[in-house]
């Protein structure tokens, strides 16, 4: 797996997430849609690189997001992305990584990431909103946006991450 280049692509996605997407989202929805494009790449790494790579990838980019953008509490996104990347990699090792399975991972993982962050904020009393409101207001729209983005980049990223010798079915690359 080309992990070094994936890290560079994810840094570029992080810049797009913070510089371009706010211009595309209507002002009334800016607090409602929080796409986590680095988390989508963490799920790709989980599927094609394994659970340990996904854990470190999610932890690193989650902490980077915590430090750069959120500021109230350092660690919720790092913890959530690392944990869910590891869990997605663990599940991906036991099943074939198909498009339908990836859609399931994105929807469940995206919802769980925002739920974990909400529960950590609730634990430290940084929010007093109810979970039903947060789910309706932020988690569901964000998960749908993440699913749309993941479907748009699925084929190019899969072609890039899967080694050509494994994709063609050769057992012996020599």
Digit-by-digit pLDDT tens for the chain (174 residues) are: 678 889 999 999 999 988 898 898 888 887 788 889 999 999 999 999 999 999 999 999 999 999 988 767 899 999 999 999 999 999 999 988 899 999 999 999 999 999 999 999 999 999 999 999 999 999 999 999 999 999 999 999 998 888 664 444 544 444
pLDDT at residue 35, as a whole number: 87
User: Which residues form the domain of 44?
Assistant: 3-161
Instruction: Tell me if 167 is assigned to some domain.
Output: no
The percent of the chain in helix, strand and coil, each rounded to the nearest 5, is: 80, 0, 20
pLDDT attached to residue 18: 86
Is position 168 within any domain?
no
Question: What is the predicted pLDDT for the residue at 33?
Answer: 86
DSSP 169: T
42 belongs to a structural domain:
yes
Tell me, yes or no, whether 170 lies in a domain: no
Per-residue pLDDT, 172: 46
Residue 127 lies inside a defined structural domain of this protein: yes
In a domain, 144, yes or no: yes
Q: What is the pTM (predicted TM-score) of this model? A: 0.88
Residue 173 belongs to a domain: no
Q: Residue 136: what pLDDT?
A: 95
Measured CA distances, 136 to 32, 108, 124, 144 (Å): 9, 15, 22, 12
What pLDDT is attached to residue 164? 61
Give the E-state strand segments of 81-125 in sequence order. Answer: none
Q: Identify whether 7 is part of a domain.
A: yes
Question: Domain count of the chain?
Answer: 1
């Amino acid at each position: 797996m080309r992990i070094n280049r994936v890290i560079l692509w994810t840094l570029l996605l992080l810049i797009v997430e913070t510089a371009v997407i706010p211009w595309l989202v209507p002002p009334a929805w800016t607090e409602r849609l929080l796409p986590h494009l680095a988390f989508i790449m963490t799920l790709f790494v989980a599927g094609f690189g394994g659970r340990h790579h996904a854990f470190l990838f999610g932890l690193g980019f989650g902490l980077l997001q915590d430090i750069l953008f959120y500021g109230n509490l350092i660690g919720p996104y790092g913890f959530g992305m690392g944990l869910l990347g590891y869990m997605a990699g663990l599940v991906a090792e036991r099943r074939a990584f198909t498009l339908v399975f990836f859609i399931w991972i994105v929807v469940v993982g995206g919802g769980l990431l925002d739920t974990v962050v909400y529960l950590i904020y609730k634990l430290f009393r940084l929010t007093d909103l109810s979970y039903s409101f947060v789910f309706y207001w932020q988690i569901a729209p964000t998960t749908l946006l993440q699913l749309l983005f993941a479907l748009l980049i699925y084929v190019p990223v899969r072609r890039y991450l899967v080694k050509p010798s494994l994709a063609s079915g050769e057992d012996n690359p020599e």
